[in-house]
Structure 1
Amino acid sequence: MKFSPWMTMGALSLALAAALPAAAQEKSVAITAIVEHPALDSVRDGVQDALKAAGFEAGKNLKWQYQSAQGNTGTAAQIARKFIGDKPDAIVAIATPSAQAVVAATKTVPVVFSAVTDPVAAKLVANWEPSHTNVTGVSDLLALDKQMELVKQVVPNAKRVGMVYNPGEANSVVVVKQLKELLPTMGMTLVEASAPRSVDVSSAARSLIGKVDVIYTNTDNNVVSAYESLVKVGQDAKLPLIASDTDSVKRGAIAALGINYRDLGEQTGRIVVRILNGEKPGDIKPETSTKVELFVNPGAAEKQGVTLSQALIDSAAQVVK
């Protein structure tokens, strides 16, 4: 590139910037999460790892900022407005409330959601095809057929699957609807138990005793926050518990086929890299997680009246002692 001696310093700076490769110019990524806990923190760290692997490193050629809403949706909206005012190259929004706050506040700044179970139900995108808007991202939606296959592996003769959930949580309602359609095709039926509050989880679980062969739990916030009370019912009634998040196995579930949230973050980060390199978010199809892990807890199985096959134990990514 040739530079005129009559160029102003500002014009010269712009010309130099244009001459640099995209990865060498400083980019800006803002990341927000509804709350801090191990899974969502892993998503954040995975995003940063993917950016670094692609040559975008904070303090060198990447401006990186992160804020948590500390569980407050009002704060999530404030963070969204602040970030949009900063005009970053991309905003990463972790978990549904933060993603909804950001998407509601901008139609121009690229938004990449992550750890959102159902982005369509959350009205982030119209469907699972490229949105042709400023939004794309990665869902932590789990394949329910594989979840139910795990139920069959743990309790081979299971016919009635119980599910404790909060009917006010949209993602759980979606799972219940899907299970009602799926289970009959696998020779099973669903029995629901409502737990609108965390304190209702124990009584809801007890209401399933004698009515079901196994209890399955999704990532319902009420249930996960009170999982120990569910475990007590499972042990007292010899009622097997199968979870969809691996942390619950450490707390007393027999098994879970769950998302590796660090990998989910890296997958999200790779989409951010594509946007930083010039792709439009609306041209990128929303994705689901490409990796799940099996955790098993043979001790919990024994307490809940079942014995895990050695083949299932051997196939697990982690055996909780």
Structure 2
Amino acid sequence: MKNSWKKMMAVIFSTTLILAACGDGGEKAGSSKKYKIGVTQIVEHPSLNAAYDGFKKALEDAGIDAEYDSQIAQGDNSANTTIATNLVSAKVDLIFANSTPSAQAAASATSDIPIVFTSVTDAVGAELVKSMESPGGNVTGTIDAHPDAISDTMKFLKEQLGAKKVGMVFNSGEQNSRAQVDAVKEMLKGMDMTVVEASVATSADVKQAAESLIGKVDSMYIITDNTVVSALESVISVANDNKIPVMVAEFDSVKRGGLAAYGFEYYDIGYEAGQMAVKILKGESKPADLPVQVPQNLKLVMNKKAASILGIDIKDEWKAELVE
């Protein structure tokens, strides 16, 4: 009898422990970690902001509970470096670097915390990754350079607008910009077209740089230079007053007055960067093993009002998507 009682009590005790363990396990399985995401952005303008919105939406769609520490350098490189250092000190789970300078500063600040970038034009040239296919290290992301964007833009300027001298205002201290200017120069070899450069250091220099091109160029091309794009209206004003068409490199700049762009949505490359961040946060992949992604769906978008100001008739054969 005593033995039977002991056996019964042992079974009850064991069952209680099992149920308790299952209860604990259920709570852990149902709970989710709150991730701290550090965000560093070189300057505030619509394209970069759209990329950030896309990034956050990707994490939200994946069910990631994230707290964001978002900081903008406002074009100040010393502030940019400080932001990266502060995010590392805060021991964030992942850094989202929105622009080439932001990604470079973050990569210099840490080799341990995962970094996912976007709005970067030449990830290899900026020494962020070893190669597009195999990044290596703790950095990967999405670039804002479609392989056909520059060639399509230059062909349009020459074949449709008869341009021969292309003015380019850019920050020569930004690697992202230097790479694009060099790519344009390379593209124009053999096309009977030349580039006329106007370099700036800050957004306050942009209008004067644009004015310096008057009389020297018959068109302008504004690339994804953060310094210049943040003061784009200055270029548009000078160009319109002198009937010079301004091609731009992203759609938000078309909406702000640029004539046209062969481009893609920055929201989309931000979203794709966010999807990469999800894989890293969930432990499914490491930055070193996630290939750098390129934009999809290149298309021509034109501004009807800008075309009217310049006296340009938009042809059906251009198959352009129009904005006011």
TM-score class normalised by the smaller sequence? 0.7 to 0.9
Deviation track 1:243-299 (CA, whole Å, cap 9, x = no partner) reads 113233233321122341211211111111221232111011112222445331233
AA in 1 matched with 2:61:
A
- Higher deviation after alignment, 216-225 or 174-183: 216-225
1:64-79 to structure 2, matched below 5 A, reads: 64-71=67-74, 72-79=76-83
1:165-176 to structure 2, matched below 5 A, reads: 165-176=170-181
Aligned partner (choices 46, 53, 69) of residue 54 of structure 2: 46
Q: Displacement, 1:140?
A: 1.4
AA in 1 matched with 2:242:
A
Q: Distance in 1 between matches of 2:171 and 2:77?
A: 19
Aligned partner (choices 260, 267, 273) of residue 265 of structure 2: 260
Compared CA separation, residues 125 and 306, structure 1 to 2 (3 A): same
Secondary structure, in 3 states, of the residue corresponding to 1:287? Answer: coil
Secondary structure, in 3 states, of the residue corresponding to 1:32? Answer: strand
1:158 aligns with 2:158: no
AA in 2 matched with 1:113:
F
- What TM-score does the superposition give when structure 1 sets the normalisation length? 0.79
Kept in 2: contact 1:179–1:190 (CA 8 A):
no
Q: Distance in 1 between matches of 2:93 and 2:210?
A: 47
Kept in 2: contact 1:100–1:122 (CA 8 A):
yes
1:147 aligns with 2:153: yes
Query: Which runs of 5 or more residues in structure 1 are unaligned?
Result: 6-11, 57-61
Kept in 2: contact 1:161–1:212 (CA 8 A):
yes
AA in 2 matched with 1:250:
K
Q: Distance in 2 between matches of 1:246 and 1:254?
A: 10
Q: Distance in 2 between matches of 1:80 and 1:256?
A: 32
Aligned partner (choices 14, 28, 42) of residue 35 of structure 2: 28
Kept in 2: contact 1:243–1:255 (CA 8 A):
yes
Secondary structure, in 3 states, of the residue corresponding to 2:189? Answer: helix
Kept in 1: contact 2:120–2:176 (CA 8 A):
no
- Higher deviation after alignment, 80-89 or 297-306: 80-89
Compared CA separation, residues 53 and 178, structure 1 to 2 (3 A): same
AA in 2 matched with 1:94:
N
Deviation track 1:90-111 (CA, whole Å, cap 9, x = no partner) reads 3222222332232122212211
Secondary structure, in 3 states, of the residue corresponding to 1:44? Answer: helix
Kept in 2: contact 1:17–1:25 (CA 8 A):
no
Compared CA separation, residues 238 and 84, structure 1 to 2 (3 A): closer
Residue correspondences, number: 300
Secondary structure, in 3 states, of the residue corresponding to 2:244? Answer: coil
Q: Tell me which residue corresponds to 1:284.
A: 290
Q: Tell me which residue corresponds to 1:59.
A: none
Compared CA separation, residues 241 and 41, structure 1 to 2 (3 A): closer
Aligned partner (choices 280, 297, 306) of residue 275 of structure 1: 280
Q: Tell me which residue corresponds to 2:300.
A: 294
Q: Tell me which residue corresponds to 2:117.
A: 113
Q: Distance in 1 between matches of 2:28 and 2:227?
A: 53
1:225-240 to structure 2, matched below 5 A, reads: 225-240=230-245
Q: Distance in 2 between matches of 1:304 and 1:226?
A: 21
Q: Distance in 2 between matches of 1:75 and 1:32?
A: 13
Q: Displacement, 1:85?
A: 4.5
Q: Displacement, 1:124?
A: 1.6
Query: Which runs of 5 or more residues in structure 2 are unaligned?
Result: 1-12, 15-20
Kept in 1: contact 2:299–2:320 (CA 8 A):
no
Q: Tell me which residue corresponds to 1:184.
A: 189
Q: Distance in 2 between matches of 1:181 and 1:283?
A: 31
AA in 2 matched with 1:53:
D
Q: Displacement, 1:238?
A: 2.5
Q: Tell me which residue corresponds to 2:132.
A: 128
Between the two proteins, what is the percent identity of the paired residues?
A: 37
Kept in 1: contact 2:100–2:126 (CA 8 A):
yes
Q: Tell me which residue corresponds to 1:95.
A: 99
Secondary structure, in 3 states, of the residue corresponding to 1:195? Answer: strand
Alignment RMSD: 3.2
Secondary structure, in 3 states, of the residue corresponding to 2:278? Answer: helix
AA in 2 matched with 1:84:
V
Compared CA separation, residues 283 and 161, structure 1 to 2 (3 A): same
Deviation track 1:50-81 (CA, whole Å, cap 9, x = no partner) reads 1222232xxxxx24222213424444444434
Compared CA separation, residues 231 and 40, structure 1 to 2 (3 A): closer
1:193 aligns with 2:200: no
AA in 1 matched with 2:217:
V
AA in 2 matched with 1:26:
K
Kept in 1: contact 2:196–2:217 (CA 8 A):
no
